[in-house]
Every structure is written in C-alpha cells, then in structure tokens.
C-alpha cells in the first residue's frame, strides 16, 4: 500500500507528522513570510474546511462513497488557495501553496490518504504556530 502518506504496511509515515511537518511549517511561516498573523488566520481557514470534510466523511454510513463525493471539493482547495494568493490584501505564504497544498492534495489517492493528510496538516499548523510567534529553530530541539 506504500504511498506518499503511508508505509508499505499501511501506517501513516512518522516523518510526515514530525520532521516533514516542521520543515514545511518553517517554509510557510518563516521563509519569505509576509504577515504571520494573516498567514495563520488564512491557513486556519483552509484547515477548518479540510476538517469539515473529514467530519462529514467519518459521520457517513458509507465513508468511501462520501469521500468520492467530497474529493472534487478537496481538489478545489488548490484553486481557493491560489485565489487567496492572488488577492493583494490577503497575506499568505506562497510556500503554503507550492510546498504543501498543491503537492499534498495531488498525492491523495484514497480515503486513508485523505485522513493522513488531515493529520499532516494538523502537525504543520502546530509547528506553524510555534514558528509564527518568532520562536527560534534551536529552541524546538
């Protein structure tokens, strides 16, 4: 079953929730940042949308069918982030789209990948809040 999100035995890849999430968060919240408060707010808005989809799928009596219905909306998240980047009054990191949203959504192949993506997104948010508050990289180790 090995995929971007899972090991061959079907478990979520540990590095996605740890090293990879921290690396991506640094790029989003430190590298080339605009306004970290706006970036946090905007990213949280997208995270909330992803969590809404997760909740809807998990509450369904047929999770696979509901996932298939919702998946096109998940794909549209790329367009929503691109639109937000194009608006000059909204401050969001280009890395959020380039390094996270676009490649991660493109790698979702099934419902289990989606659930792993949600956990990965949660880890990125956690590290992002840390780095957006001006914390230094060496303090986290």
Which of 12, 26, 11 is CA-nearest to residue 124? 26
Overall number of domains in the chain: 1
On whether residue 3 sits in a domain, the answer given is no
On whether residue 1 sits in a domain, the answer given is no
The string of pLDDT tens digits covering residues 9-45 is 999 999 999 999 999 998 888 765 455 555 788 899 9
Confidence band of 61 (pLDDT split at 50, 70, 90): very high
Confidence band of 1 (pLDDT split at 50, 70, 90): very low
Q: Round to the nearest angstrom and report the end-to-end CA distance of the chain.
A: 32
d(CA 91, CA 14) in angstroms, rounded, equals 31
On whether residue 10 sits in a domain, the answer given is no
Is residue 31 within 8 A of residue 95, CB to CB? The reply is yes
On whether residue 114 sits in a domain, the answer given is yes
On whether residue 97 sits in a domain, the answer given is yes
Q: What is the model's pTM?
A: 0.87
Q: Take residue 80 and report the two structure tokens written for it.
A: 């929503």
Residue 77: give the domain boundaries.
Answer: 17-135
Round the average pLDDT of the chain to a whole number and report it.
87
On whether residue 60 sits in a domain, the answer given is yes
On whether residue 5 sits in a domain, the answer given is no
Give the per-residue pLDDT at 12: 96
């Amino acid at each position: 079953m090995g995929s971007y999100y899972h090991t061959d035995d079907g478990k979520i890849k540990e590095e996605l929730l740890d090293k990879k999430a921290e690396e991506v968060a640094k790029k989003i919240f430190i590298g080339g940042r605009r306004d970290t408060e706006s970036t946090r707010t905007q990213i949280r808005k997208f995270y909330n949308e992803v969590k809404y989809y997760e909740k809807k799928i998990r509450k369904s009596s047929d999770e696979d069918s509901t996932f298939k219905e919702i998946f096109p909306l998940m794909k549209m998240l790329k367009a929503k982030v691109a639109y937000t980047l194009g608006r000059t009054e909204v401050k969001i990191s280009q890395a959020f789209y380039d390094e996270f949203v676009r490649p991660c959504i493109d790698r979702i192949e099934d419902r289990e990948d989606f659930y792993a993506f949600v956990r990965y997104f949660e880890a990125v948010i956690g590290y992002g809040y840390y780095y957006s508050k001006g914390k230094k990289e060496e303090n986290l180790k």
